[in-house]
Structure 1
Amino acid sequence: MKICVLGTRGFPFIQGGVEKHCESLYTDFSSEYHFIVFRRKPYVNSSISYPNITFVDLPSTKLKGFETVFHSFLATCYSVFYHPNIVHIHNIGPALFSPILRLFGLKIVLTFHSPNYEHKKWGRGPKLLLKWSEKIALKMSDAIIFVNRFQMEKYNSIIRNKSYYIPNGIPEIIPATKFDYIESLGLETGKYILSVGRITPEKGFDCLLKAFARLDDSNYHLVIAGGVETESAYYNMLKSILPVGKVIFTGYVFGEELNQLYAHARLFILSSYNEGFPLVLLEAMSYSLDVLVSDIPATHLVDLTADDYFETGNDEELAWKISVKLGKEQKRKYQLEKYNWNSVIEQTVYVYESIEKVSH
C-alpha cells in the first residue's frame, strides 16, 4: 500500500507535536506499507533515511500563515501525481485543497490533531480560513482519526460514524545516566522546573513565567525547552519577565539532551491554553515526574488527580500549586500502558485497510 503524507513540516529532528507524532508513527510500520512524506525544505536538517519512507522535500517559506497554505497546495498536487492508495493529511489547515484529491478519486484519511483556529497567534482572517478548512476536511475525508476524544464528540453522527479515537503513544524511554548537558546549563538534579514546547502564545509560557516570578524559593530554576520560529516578539516579552539566570531557554532539544532534562527535573508544567493531545505531557509522565497542567480538555485525556490541575491562565493559582508540589518530594507511577505506538500503528492500519476494502 502506498500512502502520501502531508501536513507535517517533516522529520526527523524537526520541532512540533505533529512532527513528533509522524516520526513516531511512520518509522515503525511494516515494509508492506510505503510512505511518501512531503517535507518543507527550510526545516530539513538531517539526511537520515528509512526503508519504507520516501521523503519529497518541497520549496517552502517560513512566513506564518502562508507557509502552510503554500506547502499544502504543492503537496496536494504532488499527491495526485504519485496516485497513492491513500493520502493521509495531518490537521485541518493542510486539508484545504482536499477537494482536488477527491476530484482525482483518491482516498483521504485525516488526523485531527487540534482546532488550530483556537490558537491565540492567529488573527481574524486566518481563523476564518482555518474554520473553512475544517469544514472541507471533515466533509472530504473518508476516515478521520482524532487524537482527542473530546474533540471527536463535538461533531454530529455523520462525522462520528467515520471517525476513530486513536490517542498518541509514548516513545521508548532510555533512562538518563549522564549529567553533562544539565551541568552545562548550570543546573542541578531535582533543582529545576521543566516545561517543553514551541515558543508560541498558546503554550501559555507567559503565565508560567509570571507564576515562577511569584515564588519565594530562589533555589530552583525554570527551564523552557523549545525553539522560536515566527514568534520573536512573544519570546522577547517572555525574556523580560524574569531576571537573567532564573529562567533558561534551551532552544529546541531532542535525544540525549531532552532525555537528561526530563530525567533530572523536579516538576513538569504544561501551561497551554490549547492542545490536541500533548505528547510532552505523556513523555513527562513516562519519566515518573510530578506534573502540574492547565485545566483544558486535552489534559483530562490522561488520569491525573485534582491537585495536578490549575485554572488556565491563572498565574497566582499556578504559583501556589508549584509551592505545594515543591514542598513534597515525590516520584509518580502512572498507568500509561494504552499509550503505545505499536497499538497506534495497529489501529491506523485498521483504518487504512477499512478504506481499501470499501474502495474495492
Structure 2
Amino acid sequence: MIGHKRIPSREGGVEIVVDELSTRLVRLGCQVDAYNRYGRHTAGRKFDERRGKYYNGIRLITIPTPKSSALNAIVYSFLAVIRALFGRYDVIHFHAEGPCIVLWIPKLFGFHVVATIHGLDWQRAKWGNFASSMLKLGEKTAVRHADEIIVLSQNMREYFQQTYGRDTILIPNGIERPVIKKADLITKQYGLKKDEYILFLARIVPEKGLHYLIEAFKKSDTDKKLVIAGGNSHSNEYMKEISAMAATDKRIIMTDFIHGQCLEELYSNAYLYVLPSDVEGMALTLLEAMSYGNCCLVSDIKENTEVTEESAVTFKKGSVKDLGIKLDNLLKNPQKVMEYKEKSQDFICGKYNWDAVVEKTLERYKRKSIKRYKRMGKWSR
C-alpha cells in the first residue's frame, strides 16, 4: 500500500481506507506492507514513535519525507516505490492521484499495479498551480499505466470514461454498524450533551466548505453549539481564516483532530451532522455519521447525494442562504430530525460493507496476477 500518510490514523479518508482494507486482507491470509510517511513535523514524529513494526498484522515500512508540503508526497512516493521494487510483491496498490506520478516505475519492472482514485485532488482549492498540475499528471499516469483503476463514485467513473475513454471499477467505501456511546468524555472535556450540538467532522481545508457553515450558523437563532472536529491539512491560511471566524461566536467549539472514545461520543450524541463540501471523493465521515444514526445535512454534489439518496437533507452547493434555510428548518423541527435519525443507520449499513469492498478489491488484485502466475507456472489455486 503506497499513498497514505500513515496508519493507524484518522488524518484523512485515504488513511481509514488503507487501514480497513489492509486489516481485512491480512485476516484473509494476505501479507500486506503499508508504506507510511515520516516527516520532521511534530505530528509525524508522534505517530511513528508510538507504533511498532507491525499493526493488525500489517508490516509498517516508514519512508523519510521532507517537511515541505509541496515536496512531501512526491519524495515519499518515489522512495516508497524504489523500496517496493525489492519487495517481491504480487500487487502494488497506489492510493490517491499524487502518488500515482511514479506508478509507471513498478509497471516497467513487471509488477501488477492497482490505483484507487479517492477523489479528483487537482480540483481541491488548497493546492496551488504547480501542485495541481502534478496531481493531474498523477491522474494521467494512472490512466496510462495502471492495470486496474478503482473509483469510489459513479460520478468519477463517468469522468474517467468521458475524459480519457478509460474503464474503471466502482468499489465504494464500506462501513460497519457501530456501538452508540453515551456522552461522557465530551461532556467532561467540552461541556457537550446529547442533541445540544451540530457536528462538522472533516479536515479543515477550503473544499470542505466549512466557511459556508460558520457563516450560516452565525445567523441562526439557536442555543445549540457548533462543534468543528478536525485539523489543518496543508492549508495554514484557511485555518487562520476559520479560527478567526469561529472566535467571534462563543457557541463554536474547535477541537482539532478527534479519535477513539471522544470521536464515538461525538457521532453518537450530535443533533445534526453537516457536510457542506464543494469537492468530495467519497466522504467516509458521512458514512460514519449515518452509521451512528445521525440526521445529515449535506451539499448537493453528486458524490454526497449518491451516498445519501433520500436519507439526508441537501442544500445547494456553495449557497450560504440555502444552507441557512435548511439549517434553521431542522433546528426548529426536531421531529423531522428524528425521522431521518430513525432510518439513516439501517439505510447506510445495508448499502455499504467493508467485507464486500475487500472481496471486490481482491478480485482486481487476482485478475492479472493469475494470468502472470499461470505463465510462470506458479499458480496452484
Flag the 1:51–1:250 CA change in 2: closer, same or farther, 3 A: closer
- How many angstroms apart in 1 are the aligned matches of 2:312 and 2:259? 29
* Alpha-carbon offset, residue 233 of structure 1: 1.9
Larger helix share, 1 or 2: 2
Say whether the 8 Å CA contact 2:126–2:234 is kept in structure 1: no
- How many angstroms apart in 2 are the aligned matches of 1:57 and 1:317? 45
Q: 1:32 aligns to what? A: 29
Bigger mean CA offset, 154-163 vs 63-72: 154-163
Among candidates 10, 15, 20, match of residue 16 of structure 2: 20
Say whether the 8 Å CA contact 2:295–2:312 is kept in structure 1: no
Aligned amino acid, residue 24 of structure 2: D
* Alpha-carbon offset, residue 318 of structure 1: 0.7
Aligned amino acid, residue 339 of structure 1: Y
Matches within 5 A, 1:151-166: 151-156=156-161, 163-166=168-171
Among candidates 76, 92, 99, match of residue 97 of structure 2: 92
Say whether the 8 Å CA contact 2:177–2:291 is kept in structure 1: no
Classify the secondary structure of the residue corresponding to 1:155.
Answer: helix
Q: TM-score, normalised by structure 1?
A: 0.93
Q: 1:240 aligns to what? A: 244
Indicate whether 1:176 and 2:181 are aligned: yes
Aligned amino acid, residue 152 of structure 1: R
* Alpha-carbon offset, residue 113 of structure 1: 0.5
* Alpha-carbon offset, residue 338 of structure 1: 2.7
Aligned amino acid, residue 21 of structure 2: L
Aligned amino acid, residue 333 of structure 1: K
Q: 1:120 aligns to what? A: 125
Q: 2:83 aligns to what? A: 78
Say whether the 8 Å CA contact 1:92–1:130 is kept in structure 2: yes
* Alpha-carbon offset, residue 163 of structure 1: 2.3
Classify the secondary structure of the residue corresponding to 2:182.
Answer: coil
- How many angstroms apart in 1 are the aligned matches of 2:300 and 2:226? 21
Indicate whether 1:355 and 2:368 are aligned: yes
Say whether the 8 Å CA contact 2:92–2:113 is kept in structure 1: yes
Cα RMSD for the two superposed structures: 1.9
Classify the secondary structure of the residue corresponding to 1:333.
Answer: helix
Q: 2:207 aligns to what? A: 202
Flag the 1:50–1:328 CA change in 2: closer, same or farther, 3 A: same
Identical columns (%): 31
Q: 2:260 aligns to what? A: 255
Q: 1:343 aligns to what? A: 356
* Alpha-carbon offset, residue 161 of structure 1: 6.7
Which residues of structure 1 form unaligned runs of 5+? none
Say whether the 8 Å CA contact 1:24–1:171 is kept in structure 2: no
Bigger mean CA offset, 170-179 vs 95-104: 170-179
Deviations 1:279-302 (CA, angstroms, capped at 9, x unpaired):
000111111111110111210222
Aligned amino acid, residue 38 of structure 2: K
Which residues of structure 2 form unaligned runs of 5+? 375-381
Aligned amino acid, residue 143 of structure 2: L
Classify the secondary structure of the residue corresponding to 2:173.
Answer: coil
Q: TM-score, normalised by structure 2?
A: 0.88
Say whether the 8 Å CA contact 1:182–1:261 is kept in structure 2: no
Flag the 1:159–1:234 CA change in 2: closer, same or farther, 3 A: closer
Say whether the 8 Å CA contact 2:143–2:149 is kept in structure 1: yes
Bigger mean CA offset, 146-155 vs 37-46: 37-46
- How many angstroms apart in 1 are the aligned matches of 2:162 and 2:250? 53
Q: How many residues align?
A: 355
Q: 2:230 aligns to what? A: 226
Among candidates 184, 192, 200, match of residue 197 of structure 2: 192
- How many angstroms apart in 1 are the aligned matches of 2:81 and 2:312? 46
* Alpha-carbon offset, residue 156 of structure 1: 3.1
Say whether the 8 Å CA contact 2:271–2:295 is kept in structure 1: yes
